[in-house]
Amino acid sequence: MKVKEMKKHIEDCEECQNFIVGCVNLPLHKRGDRFFHKDGEEYILASVDEHQMVLVCIEDGNRWSQPVKVKKHLEVTKEEFAKITNHPESEFRKKTK
C-alpha cells in the first residue's frame, strides 16, 4: 500500500482512528511507580482510594499536591499524571529499575 493510499484508508477507517487515539492515551504509570523530582527528591505514586492518586515524598512523607481523581489506579494516563504533578510538562522522571 502506498503512503497516499494508507493515509486515505486511515482517514476513512473509524477502527484505525480509534486505535490511534487509544495509543495516544495509553496508560503510562501505575500505583507504586517511583519518580525523581528535578530537585532530586524521590516520590511514589500512591492511591488514596480506588480512584484518587497522589505523589508522596519518600523522605518526609509529604504529598506533592492534593489527591487527583483517576479512572484506574493501575492505568494512570499522561493527562492524569499531568494533573497529579500540577504541570503538563512533568518535572518528574520515572525511576528505572
Q: Is residue 3 part of a domain?
A: no
Work out how many domains the chain is built from and give that number: 1
Note down the domain range covering 85. Answer: 27-94
- The terminus-to-terminus CA distance of the chain in angstroms comes to 41
Q: Is residue 34 part of a domain?
A: yes
Q: Is residue 45 part of a domain?
A: yes
Q: Is residue 6 part of a domain?
A: no
Confidence of residue 37 (pLDDT cuts 50, 70, 90): very high
What's 27's DSSP letter?
-
Q: Is residue 21 part of a domain?
A: no
Percent of the chain beyond pLDDT 70? Answer: 75
pTM: 0.70
Give me the pLDDT at residue 22, please: 56
**Span 5-20, mean pLDDT?**
67
User: Could you tell me the three cell numbers for 27?
Assistant: 496508560
